[in-house]
């Protein structure tokens, strides 16, 4: 459907990541004249250097784990010597081939997205863009480079993403001290990878390289890995990491990282040192908002450089919107995409549903995965919501038994009084897929009884969701009150 305008509306988009891409597609669908400015390639860092390649690497690590665990299911792999005696082969990871494949997939995804934009009629300009006032984008050959184009538009959308945060005392060099965008240049598995930072990025890469066969040490400044996440989920991941041979250093802060030429030395704040072959710095990210004319256009920013936006992705300037990791909203690719669409719908007068943080599904691609939606158990403990929790271990699920799954659980959170589902956590294989029915329940305000009446395939991992909902049917107390 396209909207009817007195004249054709124009939209200029700065940045072609998930937010910019979706904004461009949506604007073209609504009949606007659309121009997209992108410096690295359509898809942005999410596709080219971040989400797509990292999750491809994790998929390879998952395959290695599956092969290693196949013997538990009765599948045995043997090679034979010349005299016919069996040899148990070792799994070898060709990291050069792995990295070549994942970068190729990332580029292919970028090319596919570009083709979709071209087919939709979007004009794509390659270069570095910056705002010039409230209604124009200027494109140059690079920061401080020669200007070669100027686009005037009724609506501007800024979706410039973020980059890895760098510390002066641990400056990434692309050789031994690395950011997550530089990992894919390695030609062999690191003998001993020290990961500084135990948030989502640090935990994902630490688990992946452990499963690929590297010795891994994870340095965390907090009490546990994944601070801020569901405590039960974090405990499962810690247990799996330790069982896999990873060294976890809790309450440890890295003060300095040095490249010795043949390895790295990480110095902790208490004076201890750790020797390794490589160090991954996973200490957060910073928005790519410096020097692109945002302040001059009157856009309100935070001290960290993030763009202040409301629930329809609008900035403090009425015709300028922003989407993705450069904003104050949730830094997820799926959120960036939804922000991009919402921004354009709002700007061009289409139906808009403001974004609600409590209805955003997120996933951590560790092994097992951690997926969450809505209110969490810590919110109940802090008195933010009156709700009850029910948790079922996946090990009790018949399909999990068949698959040899020992770690993980399903946790449902329902509002006290109405029984409506307000949150959930899933820890297990493909949790990113299994969380979807709980997300629908949260979005549509379904009760646990309504969820329990949905037929789940038997046997299936999703059956644990139904089982948890059925277990929460307590008529006389807890949920419904006596």
208-261 tens-digit pLDDT? 999 999 999 999 999 989 998 999 999 999 999 999 999 999 999 999 999 999
Residue 473 Cα to chain centre, angstroms: 34
CB environment 3-29: b (16+ within 10 A), e (fewer) = eeeeeebbbbbbbbbbbbbbbbbbbbb
Q: CA 143, CA 151: separation in Å to the nearest integer? A: 18
Is pLDDT at 476 greater than 70 in this prediction? Answer: no
Written as six digits, the tokens of 381 are: 């403990």
Q: What percent of the chain has pLDDT over 70?
A: 96
Query: Please, where are the H alpha helices in 231-360?
Result: 231-243, 333-348
Q: Which two tokens stand for residue 480?
A: 């419904």
Categorize the per-residue pLDDT at 477 as very low, low, confident or very high, splitting at 50, 70 and 90: very low
d(CA 455, CA 437): 12
Distance CA 17, CA 382 (A): 36
DSSP string, 381-421: HTTSS-EEEEEEEGGGSHHHHHHT--S-EEEEEEETTT-BE
Q: What is the mean pLDDT of residues 27-35?
A: 97
Q: What are phi and psi of 369, to 5 degrees?
A: -75, 160
C-alpha–C-alpha distance, residues 20 and 1, integer Å: 20
For residues 39 and 163, is the Cβ–Cβ distance under 8 A?
Answer: no
* Closest by Cα among 25, 27, 22 to 10: 27
Say if residue 459 is preceded by a cis peptide, omega within 30 of 0. Answer: yes
The whole-number pLDDT of residue 4 equals: 54
Q: pLDDT-based confidence at 1, cuts 50/70/90?
A: low
């Amino acid at each position: 459907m396209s909207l009817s305008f007195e004249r054709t509306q124009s939209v200029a988009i700065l940045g072609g990541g998930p937010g910019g891409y979706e904004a461009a597609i949506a604007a073209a669908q609504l009949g606007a004249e659309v121009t997209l400015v992108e410096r690295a390639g359509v898809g942005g860092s999410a596709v080219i250097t971040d989400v797509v390649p990292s999750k491809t690497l994790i998929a390879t690590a998952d395959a290695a784990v599956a092969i290693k665990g196949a013997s538990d299911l009765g599948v045995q792999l043997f090679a034979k010597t010349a005299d016919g005696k069996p040899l148990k082969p070792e799994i070898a990871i060709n990291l050069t081939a792995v990295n070549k494949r994942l970068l190729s997939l990332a580029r292919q995804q970028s090319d596919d997205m570009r083709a979709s934009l071209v087919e939709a009629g979007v004009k794509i300009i390659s270069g570095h863009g910056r705002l010039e006032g409230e209604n124009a984008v200027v494109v140059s050959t690079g920061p401080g480079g020669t200007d070669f184009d100027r686009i005037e538009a009724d609506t501007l959308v800024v979706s410039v993403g973020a980059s890895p945060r760098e510390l002066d005392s641990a400056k990434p060099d692309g050789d031994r001290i690395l950011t997550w965008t530089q990992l894919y240049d390695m030609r062999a598995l690191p003998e001993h990878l020290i990961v500084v930072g135990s948030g989502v990025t640090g935990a994902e890469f630490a688990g992946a390289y452990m499963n690929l066969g590297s010795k891994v040490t994870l340095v965390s400044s907090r009490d546990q890995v994944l601070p801020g996440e569901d405590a039960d989920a974090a405990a499962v991941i810690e247990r799996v990491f330790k069982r896999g041979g990873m060294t976890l250093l809790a309450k440890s802060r890295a003060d300095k990282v040095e490249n010795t030429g043949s390895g790295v030395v990480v110095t902790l704040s208490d004076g201890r040192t750790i020797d390794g072959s490589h160090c991954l710095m996973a200490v957060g990210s910073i928005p790519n908002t410096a020097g692109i004319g945002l302040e001059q256009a009157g856009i309100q920013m935070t001290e960290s450089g993030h763009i202040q936006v409301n629930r329809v992705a609008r900035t403090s300037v009425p015709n300028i919107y922003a989407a993705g990791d450069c904003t104050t909203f949730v830094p997820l690719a799926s959120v960036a995409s939804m922000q991009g669409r919402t921004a354009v719908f709002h700007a061009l007068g289409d139906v808009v549903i403001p974004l609600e943080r409590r209805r955003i599904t997120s996933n951590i691609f560790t092994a097992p995965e951690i997926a969450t939606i809505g209110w969490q158990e810590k919110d109940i403990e802090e008195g933010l919501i009156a709700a009850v929790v029910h948790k079922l271990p996946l090990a009790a699920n018949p399909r999990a038994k068949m698959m040899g799954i020992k770690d993980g659980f399903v946790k449902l959170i329902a509002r006290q009084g109405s029984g409506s589902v307000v949150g959930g956590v899933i820890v297990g294989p493909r949790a990113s897929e299994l969380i979807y029915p709980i997300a629908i329940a949260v979005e549509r305000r379904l009760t646990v009884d309504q969820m329990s009446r949905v037929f789940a395939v038997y046997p299936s991992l999703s059956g644990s969701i139904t089982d948890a909902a059925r277990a929460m049917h307590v008529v006389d107390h807890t949920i419904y009150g006596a």
